[in-house]
A and B are shown apart, each in its own frame.
Chain A
C-alpha cells in the first residue's frame, strides 16, 4: 500500500471507529471498549509502518495527499508527514491505545459517547499535526475543542462545568483572533505576490511590513500561548486538569498542549520571522517565567493532580526556550522535550488516576508510605518521576539538556547578556523541578503508611502493561536519542533557516495600494 493511502487510513480510522461504536447495540459496553482499543492498536501499527518508511533525508512532505478543495479561495486539502510532525504523530498514535485502556475501569457512564469523543479528539489532533494548509489546520485546531469540552464536562469532577467552560472560552478567544490573522495573512499574500493560497508552503513566501508581522504574530501567539500554556495565560490549565477525568488529563497533557508549541514552531515563528527575531527576548523571558513560576506553584500544591498540572507549565517552558534560542541543539531539544513531556505527563496522570480509583482522594497529605503497600505502583511512579525531572538515560534528560545547551550556545555566540541570564535562570528551574517532584515522591511513597480507603490492591495486569509501554518509550528516548534526533534534524534546520531569514517587503515594486484603505 502506498504511504499516502496509509496515512489517510491512519487519519480516518478514528472516524470509522466512531461510527462503528455508534452502531453497536445499547448496553454492550465491553464491546465498545474492545472495539475502541483494537482500532487504536491498529492505528498505532499503521503509524509504526509509516514511521519506519519515513526518510528524514528526503526533502518536502512524505506520504502526501493533496487535492484542491475550495479552489476559489485557494484552499487545498493537503496532509503529509515531515520532520516537524512525525514524532508528534507517533506520540499521538502511541498514546491512543493507552488512553483507551486506561479508562476501561474509570468510565462507567455513557461509555459509548465517551469513546466516540476519544476517537473524535484523536482524529482532530492527528489532523492538526498533519494539515499542511492553514484553513484545514484551523478546522482541525478548533474541532479539538468540542470533544474535549464534552470529555471534561460530562465525565469530570465536581466543578467540571466551570472548568470546561473556562477551557473552551479561553482557547476560543485565542482562536477567534487567530482567525482574523489567518484571513489577513492570506489577503496580504495575495496583495504581495498575487497568489491566493492557504498552503503553508506558499504562506512563508508572503512579504509583510514589520508592523503587520507584529500584529499577526501577536494574534497567532496569543492563540498558541494559551494552548501551551505560557504564563500568564495558564490559569485554565489547572482547573481543566483537576476536573477532567484521567483520560482527559492524559490527552490534554500528552498531546493537546503540544499543539501550542507545534503551532509556534510550524507556523507562528516561521511565518513572521522579522517580528519573531524582535520578540525573542520577550518569548524567552516568558518561557523562563513559565519554567520557574510553574515549578514554584507545583512546589506548594496539596492536590497531586495539580502538582503534575503545574509541572506541565514548567516543562513546556523549556520547549519555548529551545524554540526561541534558534540554536540547532535547542530546537532539537525542544522537539524531544515535547515528546518526552507527552510520555511522562501522560504516565503520571494515568498513575494519579489509578490511585484515585483506589483511594478516592487526590489530597497529598492523606497519602504516605505507598512504597510498602503498593510496590509495583511505586516503582513505576519513581521511574516516571525521575524521567520527569530529567535523570540521565531517560527522555526528560535528553530534552532539557539539549534545550539548555542550545540556550547557552546561542547566548554565548552572540555574547548576549540577557539571553545568558535567561539560560542561567532556566537551569535553576531544573533544580526546582527535581525539588518539587522528589519531595512529592518522598511524601507520597515513603514515610508513615497512610492509605485512604485501604487496604488496596496493587496494579493489575492491564495497568502494568500500560505503564510498562510508557516506561519502555521513556528509556528508549533517553538511551537512543540519536534515532529520534535524526528524524527531526532537517525540520529543525528548516525552522532555523526560515526564522533567521528576513522577509520584509522588497524595495517598493509598486505594490498595489490596499483597496478600501481610504475607508479608514
Chain B
C-alpha cells in the first residue's frame, strides 16, 4: 500500500467523505444552514468527475490489494452511478429543504462506491450495509403517514435478512475455498461441491432480496410508496445499481453453469411477468414504479446469462438508461397539495394541458422504460438480449422479450392519462419553484439522448 495510490484511487470516495464531514459540521454549527443542496451537488459532481478522470486515464490501481481496487471500466461505472445521483439531489428541494437528508444520501453513495470497487466479501459487505442503513432512515425521514414507519421496518427486516444470507454465503465460501476474494467466488461458481454451491445460492438470494426479485419483492412496493419522491428515486435507481454492479463483478465474465442459469432465469423471468402484470392494477405512481422496477431487475439478472465482457457492459448500460429515465419521470412529477395526492396516478390526468413540458418528459420516460425505440431503454434491452442469444439461450431470450411486452400496457396507460384524458382543471397550489426539478429532468433527458445516439462510444469505454 502506498499513500499516493490510496489518495488517487480513492479520490471519489475521499471527496464524498469530505462532503459528508462538511455537511455534518454545517448542521452542528448553524441552526439554519443554507447551501447544503448546492454543496451536495458540487461534492457528488466532483466525485463523479474524479471517477470519470480515473476511468478515462486508464488507471489500474489497487491501494488495498485484495480489498479495494480500481479499473478503468469500474471507475466509469462509478462515475455513471454518481452522476445519476446529481439529479436526485437537485429535485429533492421540495421534500427536504434542509436537514439530515444530504449527509445520509452521501453516506449511502459512499457505500455504492465501495460496492463498485470492493474486491472481497468484507469490503462488499461493508459497502452494502453502508449503502442500505442510511436508506432505512431516509424512508422515514419525510415521515408523512403512519404506513411509512411500517414500510421502513419491513424494508429493514427484509434487507437485514439479505445481509444475513450474504454473510452466510460468505462464510460458507470461506469454508469451501479458504478465501473471501472475488476469485474465490469465481471458483465456487465453477465448483460442483455442495458447500460451494450453497454459498453461491445464499449470495444470489441476497442479491434477489436486495434487488426485489419475486418472491423476495414484497418490501419494494411498500417502501417505494412510503418514502418521499427523491428517496424512492434513489432506491429505484442507485440502490439497485449498487447491488447489480456488485453482482456482475462477482460473476465476472465466465459463462454460468447450467443449474445456475436456471436459477438466474426462472425467478427473474417470474419477476418480469409478475412485475409487469401487477403494475397494471396500481393506482399509486410510486407503487407502479416499484412493480416496474421489479420487472427491470428481472431483465438485469437475465443479462447474467450472457457471458464475456458484454455482461458487465449490458448491466451498466441498462442501469444508466433505466436510471436516467426513472429519475426523469420522478423529477417531472407535478407537485400537489400533499404527498398522497401527488402520488395518485389520477393526478397525471390531463397534465399535458397544465404543464406540457412535464407531460412530455414523463411520457418519454415511460416509453423508454417500456423499451420502445428510439429511447435508450430499448438500446439497453437490445444489448441484454443480444448477449443472451449469443450465449445460446435463444428460447429464454424470446420468453424474456415476450415478458417485456406485457409491460407495455401500463406504461401506455400513463401516457393515456397524460395526453388523452381530460383532468380536473385544478391548478396546483403555488409551491416552491420547479426550476431545479425541471433542470434535473432536462439533465437526464440530455444524458438519455446521448446514450441513445452514441451507445457505441459509451460501451467502448466499459
Interface set of A (CB-CB < 8 Å, partner B): 69-73, 75, 110, 113, 138-139, 142-143, 145-146, 149-150, 153-154, 160-161, 164-165, 168-169, 172-173, 176-177, 179-180, 183-184, 186-187, 514-520
Interface residue B255 (Cβ < 8 Å from any Cβ of A): yes
- The answer to whether B389 and A187 have CB atoms under 8 Å apart is yes
Say yes or no for B258: interface residue by CB 8 A criterion: yes
**Of A70, A176, A516, which one neighbours B391 at CB under 8 angstroms?**
A516
Chain A binding site: helix, strand, loop or mixed by DSSP? Answer: helix
Q: A154-B419, A184-B394, A519-B261 in contact; A142/B389 too (CB < 8 A)?
A: no
In the bound complex, how far is the Cα of B397 from the Cα of A520, in angstroms?
Answer: 12
In the assembled complex, B193 has its CB within 8 A of some CB on chain A: no
* A176 and B401 contacting across the interface, CB-CB below 8 Å: yes
Is B382 touching A168 in the complex (CB atoms < 8 A)? no
Residues in B whose Cβ lies below 8 Å from that of A515:
255, 390-392
Known: A150-B419, A183-B382. A518 touches B352 (CB 8 A): no
Q: Known contacts A153-B420, A165-B412, A516-B392; decide if A180 and B401 are in contact (CB<8 Å).
A: yes
CA distance A154 to B419 in the complex (A): 7
Question: B395 to chain A: which residues have CB within 8 Å?
Answer: 520
B397 surroundings in chain A (CB, below 8 A): 180, 183
Tell me if A165 and B409 are in contact (CB < 8 A): yes
In the assembled complex, how far is the CB of residue A367 from the closest CB belonging to chain B, in whole angstroms?
30
* Complex: A186 Cα to B373 Cα, angstroms: 18
Residue of B nearest to A165 (CB): B412
Please state if A142 and B373 are interface contacts (CB–CB under 8 Å): yes
B455 interfacial by beta-carbon distance below 8 Å: yes
Given contacts A161-B416, A183-B389, A183-B397, contact A139 B456 (CB under 8 A): no
Contact partner of B386 (CB less than 8 A), chosen from A138, A149, A176, A183, is A183
Is B73 in contact with chain A by the CB < 8 A criterion?
no
| B412 near A168: Cβ-Cβ < 8 Å | yes
Q: Is B372 an interface residue (CB 8 A)?
A: yes
Question: Do A72 and B456 touch (CB < 8 A)?
Answer: yes
Q: How far is the CB of B199 from chain A (nearest CB, A)?
A: 22
**Cβ-defined contact, A176 with B402, below 8 A:** yes
Taking the nearest CB of chain B, how far is it from the CB of A119, in angstroms? Answer: 15
The answer, yes or no, to whether B277 is at the interface (CB within 8 Å) is no
A222 CB, nearest partner CB in chain B, Å: 12
B residues lining the A interface (CB < 8 Å): 255, 258, 261, 307, 352, 356, 367, 372-374, 378, 382, 385-386, 389-395, 397-398, 401-402, 404-405, 408-409, 412, 415-416, 419-420, 455-456, 459-460
Given the interface pairs A143-B373, A165-B412, A519-B258, the reply to whether A176 lies near B404 with Cβ below 8 Å is: yes
The answer to whether B420 and A160 have CB atoms under 8 Å apart is yes
Q: Are A517 and B412 in contact (CB under 8 A)?
A: no
Shortest beta-carbon distance, B281 to chain A, in Å? 16
Chain A residue numbers with a CB within 8 Å of B419 are: 113, 150, 153-154
Decide if B385 touches A179 in the complex (CB within 8 Å). Answer: yes
Q: Are A169 and B408 in contact (CB under 8 A)?
A: yes
B416 with A165: CB separation less than 8 A: yes
A177 contacts which chain B residues (CB < 8 A)? 398, 401-402
Indicate if the CB atoms of B382 and A154 lie closer than 8 Å. no
Q: Whose C-beta in chain B lies nearest to the C-beta of A75? A: B456
CB closest residue in chain A, given B257:
A519
Asked whether, in the complex, the Cβ of B373 is within 8 Å of the Cβ of A183, the reply is no
Q: Are B392 and A169 in contact (CB under 8 A)?
A: no
| Alpha-carbon distance A267/B279, docked complex (angstroms) | 36
A298, B251: Cα distance in complex, Å: 59
Sample of 9 A–B contacts (CB below 8 Å): A153-B416, A164-B420, A176-B401, A179-B382, A180-B385, A180-B389, A180-B401, A519-B258, A519-B393
**Apart from A69-B456, A173-B405, A518-B392, what 6 extra A-B contacts exist at CB < 8 Å?**
A70-B456, A139-B378, A153-B419, A179-B385, A180-B394, A516-B307
Contact status B460-A72, CB under 8 Å: yes
